[in-house]
Each structure stands twice: as C-alpha cells, then as structure tokens.
Amino acid sequence: MQLQPADLALDHLTVVDAAPVDLIELAHGAGFRAIGLFLHAMKELPLMPPFDLVADRQMRGTVRERAEQLGVGIDIAYPFSLGGSGDLRDFEPAMECAAELGAAFLNLLIFDRDEARRADRLAQFATLAAGFGLTPLIEFYPQSAVASLTDAVALLENLPEPGLAALNVDLLHLYRSGGTSEQVRALPQEMLAYAQICDGPLQRERSEWAVEAGSARQLPGDGAFDLAGFLDALPQPCRVSVEVPDDQACKDGLAKQLRAGRAMEATRRFCGLC
C-alpha cells in the first residue's frame, strides 16, 4: 500500500489526555483524515479525562457537529470487549452512540477462552452491530483469547456469514505475537479492513507487553519494526491509524498539539512524504 497523509487517522491513545472535541481539533490541526475515538473514559487509562458519550447525548451532539464542521471522520469506536458471559444487548447503547457519531467500525477485543462460545457470541455481537450499520473489527492481542493473527483469521472463517466482521491488524501486536507481514499479505483483501502503526524494539520482555501496548510505543521510524514491509503488505485501499501512546511524554508536559503533530510528521518522514 502506498500510504498518503490523507489516508491516516489519529488514534485516541496517541493523545490519551484529549477529550473528544479536543481530539477532533488536534487531528484536524495535524492533518489527519479521521480519528479512533473512545466513547467513554476507562479506569485503565488514568490520563484520559472523564467523559461519557454514551450517557451524555448533548456532548455526543457537540462531538458530531464539530467533526462535521472540520471534516474529520470517525473510523473506529472503542472500547468494546467480549467476554464469556453477559447480555449482548447491553452493548446496544454504545453501538447506537457509535452509529450516531458516524463511526465505521467497532474495535473488539475478545477475552472468552471457550472456543465454541467465543465464535457464537462473536456472531451474535456482529449481527447486533449490523443492525446499527456497524462492522466489528477483531483486534488480536497477545494478552487476550484471540492472541494472534492466526487465531483471528480462524475465528472470522467460522462466522456463519462472510463480512459480518473483519480484522484490525495492529503492527505492535503482530510483532509481539510472532506474526509476519507475509501473513498479512496473504489475507483475503476483504478480511483486512484496518491497520494501526507504531514502532518499537524487535524484542521486549513479555511482562512489559501490556504497558508497552497501552502507554509506551515509539513513533514510526524510531524503532526496529519493518514498517515499510507491513505497509507494503496492506491491501489498497486500507484505513490506517497512528497509535503511539506515550504516557511519559504526557506526564513530562509535552503539549497535546505537539504529540499529535509529531505522530503525523514522523509518519510523513518515514514514508518520504515531507
């Protein structure tokens, strides 16, 4: 895939301390096409300011209006997590919120360790999302029940209908789970809908993986990942976001505008677009 700045989205974790309207404005200012948006804050992300777009319809309307004014799209909505129990209809308010905001996809992490039940609940979740015009993206993650690209592909292939869900391939998770860009290249084009890029060292202690994923990634071009090979393996077109959480930079007082800007600048520089 030949990446262009207009292809890129700014992931919320890259500026985790941004409220939703701030995130939209930061993305626009840095030249991003779209954002990946958390619909509500999470206790696991202590630097994220408190907000809840699912519960606060007035804030939701403000976010939608600002996104439309600036021409910033919403690619993926977070957080959606599928376990082995619970009423799937409990997801409906968040799905409705994502649909009202114009999101294209729901990012889904799966933690149900029961293989048969996991497949069944994913099919039900995807069918429910389709009623709101949304497609779930399975994000494999080494600490989850869908730990690798191979796991995610097997799960998608067992869905009762093609196209009910698709893949979000995060380059960091691909490396940490032992996957390769050649595996990505071999995927059916319709299966891969999204990719997230960052950089990092080739090896890291497994005990550090969770912290790295959520708060300590490197900018494109600053690490040892074969980012060029990964981008080349993506189908054309494919939506791509820059997900580079750096909690230390946030704590050190580096302004949100600078963190959003350097994410775009590093990606442009790496791709020879400056």
147, pLDDT greater than 90: yes
Helices (H), 49-160: 57-70, 92-101, 115-130, 149-157
CA distance 250 to 259: 8
| Per-domain boundaries in the chain | 5-270
* Residues counted in the chain: 274
Residue type, 243: E
User: How far apart, in Å, do the first and last CA atoms of the chain sit?
Assistant: 18
42, pLDDT greater than 80: yes
Q: Which helix (H) or strand (E) holds 26?
A: helix 20-30
pTM of the model: 0.96
Arch. (CATH architecture) of 5-270: Alpha-Beta Barrel (3.20)
Q: What is the pLDDT of residue 1?
A: 66
10, pLDDT greater than 80: yes
- Structure letter (DSSP) for residue 12: G
Q: Across the strands, what pairs with 107?
A: 137
Nearest by Cα to 152 from 189, 118, 198: 118
What average pLDDT does the segment 101-129 reach? 96
Integer angstrom CA distances of residue 54 from 48, 59, 109, 148, 163: 16, 9, 19, 30, 26
88, pLDDT greater than 90: yes
Integer angstrom CA distances of residue 246 from 24, 107, 170, 226, 267: 19, 21, 16, 20, 16
What pLDDT band is residue 236 in, cutting at 50, 70 and 90? confident
Per the CB < 8 A criterion, the answer to whether 112 and 121 are in contact is yes
Per the CB < 8 A criterion, the answer to whether 12 and 37 are in contact is yes
Per the CB < 8 A criterion, the answer to whether 77 and 54 are in contact is no
Averaged confidence pLDDT in the chain: 95
Helices (H), the chain: 20-30, 57-70, 92-101, 115-130, 149-157, 171-176, 181-185, 209-215, 227-233, 247-251, 256-270
Integer angstrom CA distances of residue 107 from 83, 100, 141, 168, 169: 14, 16, 12, 8, 11
What pLDDT band is residue 274 in, cutting at 50, 70 and 90? very low
203, pLDDT greater than 50: yes
Model confidence pLDDT, tens digit, residues 165-189: 999 999 999 999 999 999 999 999 9
Integer angstrom CA distances of residue 91 from 17, 27, 164: 25, 27, 16
CA distance 30 to 117: 43
5, pLDDT greater than 80: no
37, pLDDT greater than 80: yes
Q: Helices H, strands E: what count in the chain? A: 11, 8
Q: Which residue has the tokens 């202690």?
A: 205
What average pLDDT does the segment 32-61 reach? 97
